[in-house]
Amino acid sequence: MRVVLQRVSRAELSVDEAKKAFIGSGALLLVGVEERDIGVDYKKLVEKILSLRIFPAIDGSSSFDRSIREVQGELLIVSQFTLFADIRKGRRPSFNRALSPDVAKKEFERVVEQFKESYEADKVFQGVFGAYMEVTLCNDGPVTLVIDYPW
């Protein structure tokens, strides 16, 4: 699994010009799943993301002092198979490492459910799997982390 985490001051997701999700301060998670992720326990990954100190201290003394939990941040989780693009050959990316859509959807849903179980479900939002989505965000910092799991 590959997760691109972006600290955001806000993010919005639309499908067919209809707003489907909006978050304030928190994190946008772009999630890609591959073959080796099938059946993996995502609890360690979710706990790590929820406890990462990626938000500034209240007094501004440190840029990386508080976690998503501590700031009561919101999460927008979006499936993105293109995170496993192979661009070594030709001009068109290959997505052979990404799971087939039906299997990937199940794994993606498992990740989202783990976030809802481990955090506050009303602060966890998700994209529409397989849909063409427009994601607008205001990257805060900017802070962007690329996380490969299992580690």
* Residues assigned a catalytic role: 82
Q: How far is the C-alpha of 54 from the C-alpha of 145, rounded, in Å?
A: 10
Burial pattern 104-142, b for ≥16 Cβ within 10 A else e, equals beebbebbbebbbebbeeebbbbbeeeeebeeebeebee
For residue 65, how many other CB atoms are within 10 A of its CB?
A: 16
- Contact status, residue 129 vs residue 100, Cβ threshold 8 Å: no
